[in-house]
Amino acid sequence: MATAVETLPQSAIPSGPFPHEGFRASGTAGANPVLLPWVTAQATNLTRHAAALRPFRRDEFGTASAAPTAGHLEAVNALISSLRRGLLNLSKGVTSAAQRAKEEPATIALQRLVNRKEKAHHWVQGIEKIWDFYFELFGQRQTRYANWLLSCDRIALDCYRAAYLGLGVARSIPAPPPFSYMRTGFAPATIRRGIPIKRLGKQLNPFPLVQLPYHRLINPWTLGAVLHEVSHNLQTDLGLSRDIPRKIAMRLLRAGLPRAVASVWTRWNREMFADMSALLLGGPGVLGSLMDVIGRGSATVVAFSPRGVHPTPYLRMLNSVELLRRMGFAKEAEQYRGAWKRIYPSAATGSIPQAMLKTFPEASALAVDTMCYQPYPSLGNRSLAQVIQFGKKEQTMVEEAARRLSAGVDPGIIPERFVIGAARFALEHRLARPGVITTNFYKTLASG
């Protein structure tokens, strides 16, 4: 891991006599011997702390391919520097107040000092949260897991390339690209570009972050989650955040479905879009990865959340089955449906409203069609399925890559996002041991 090396500019080192000499020069020899040194220390502490919260250096986290890119470092440094300017101004105020309190240590002067110090301290804490957050994320690129995270970065970047190359109109290219990091927990997550982050004091996140649990990284055939999390960012960056929910609501209402039903499907739009986009990006293997996530206890799978943003798991899987059928994989869709129904034969024991169950076949088909097969102006009047194409030809590529991957052979020019499906195919068809698949998966993606 990277270690914080304190590099203080000359301006951060107090000039002039040492504190005890300064006190004699100020004519306050009779003052409290504890108070005056403490007063000077407050300005010194703050000045040094502000100087230590410096921008990150280019080579600080290594120079290998897994290191943060110049774009990632520049984005974070711009955020830190903008906040640090305010801190340095506050630091000057504390230094000035300390000097006045040292010259005349009356209570009013001392309280002015501690009040300014507290305000500056809160500012320091805010910057330190940001500095520590990105220091930890970037520092992971110097661990044994660096190539795992680099592999996920390359998958995420490939998703963006596929989406932007498929557009019917040129759009400004988002930068920097997504950045992956590892964190303990059950579920993957993402923090979108430009979103205020609580742990950063509500500052805006400068680039997409993809959070991945360790248990996913050691089982790369479960990394359909990367495609899902990246798709959350694509919905925003492609300008679909407003159009998708509005079109779903209008489509369901025009079909005569109850307003309450349309409201639920509209609330589910972001998570459903991420599922749909992930399936278009990665193909049938992503559906197995989704089952890994939502195939939980029977009571959990049929539990409806009145305010939840995720489709109820029982229905969520069937949405993806519907899209897989529309993509031309009718046989595979029926196989997944059959497996899911064998595990969870009925939703009757759960809390899914009857109106949702009764209208589900029609509502699901309409929602899938609206999201994936209707044109959007921001996509250049193309549909999502036209922008991100996956059919039998692409699946043939995935299966060929699976055999090469299992044999330890370079899979060739296959898009990075397809390697997840290749790993899944290799595992399910027992083409190699899990450990071999994992090793070759990361070797393929991190090399070069």
Chain segment 385-399, per-residue pLDDT in tens:
999 999 999 999 999
Closest to 318 measured CA to CA, from 387, 364, 372, 269: 364
pLDDT for the residue numbered 204: 87
Tell me the β-bridge partners of 299: none
Mean pLDDT of 411-421: 94
Does pLDDT of 7 surpass 50?
A: no
Question: Do 68 and 212 lie in a common domain?
Answer: no
pLDDT in tens, 145-201: 999 999 999 999 999 999 999 999 999 999 999 999 998 776 788 888 888 888 777
Question: Do 27 and 78 lie in a common domain?
Answer: yes
Question: Do 425 and 358 lie in a common domain?
Answer: no
Q: What distance in Å separates the CA atoms of residue 75 and residue 218, rounded to the nearest whole number?
A: 30
Question: Do 406 and 383 lie in a common domain?
Answer: no
Tell me the three state secondary structure of residue 197: strand
Question: Do 270 and 288 lie in a common domain?
Answer: yes
Q: How confident is the model at residue 225 (pLDDT cuts 50, 70, 90)?
A: very high
Least confidently predicted of 100-104, 211-215, 277-281, 363-367: 100-104
Host H or E run for residue 402: helix 392-407
Pair 153, 178: CB distance under 8 Å: yes
Mean pLDDT of 107-128: 87
Indicate the residue type of 141: R
Does pLDDT of 16 surpass 60?
A: no
pLDDT in tens, 231-285: 999 999 999 999 999 999 999 999 999 999 999 999 999 999 999 999 999 999 9
What count of other Cβ atoms lies within 10 Å of the Cβ of residue 29?
10
Interhelix angle for 269-282 vs 259-267, to 10°? 60
Question: Do 349 and 364 lie in a common domain?
Answer: yes
CB crowding 204-221: b at 16 or more within 10 Å, else e: ebbbbbbbbbeebbebbb
Mean pLDDT of 195-215: 87
Pair 306, 261: CB distance under 8 Å: no
What count of other Cβ atoms lies within 10 Å of the Cβ of residue 145?
18
R_g of the chain computed on alpha carbons: 28
Give the E-state strand segments of 161-241 in sequence order. 179-182, 189-191, 196-197, 203-204, 209-212
Pair 234, 160: CB distance under 8 Å: yes
Does pLDDT of 14 surpass 70?
A: no
Indicate the residue type of 15: S
pLDDT for the residue numbered 448: 61
Question: Do 364 and 378 lie in a common domain?
Answer: yes
Residue 55: φ, ψ to 5°: -65, 155
Question: Do 133 and 175 lie in a common domain?
Answer: no
pLDDT for the residue numbered 31: 57
Question: Do 134 and 164 lie in a common domain?
Answer: no
pLDDT for the residue numbered 407: 95
Does pLDDT of 229 surpass 90?
A: yes
Cα angle: 242, vertex 383, 317; to 5 degrees = 80
Q: For residue 337, tell me if it sits in a domain.
A: yes
Calculate what percentage of the chain has a pLDDT beyond 90.
Answer: 68
Does pLDDT of 381 surpass 50?
A: yes
Q: Between the ranges 35-44, 90-99, 291-300, where is the mean pLDDT highest?
A: 291-300
Domain that holds residue 435: 395-446
Question: Do 215 and 80 lie in a common domain?
Answer: no
In this prediction the pTM is 0.86
Cα angle: 188, vertex 217, 444; to 5 degrees = 125
Question: Do 46 and 132 lie in a common domain?
Answer: yes
What is the phi-psi region of residue 245: left when phi exceeds 0, alpha when psi lies from -120 to 50, beta otherwise?
alpha
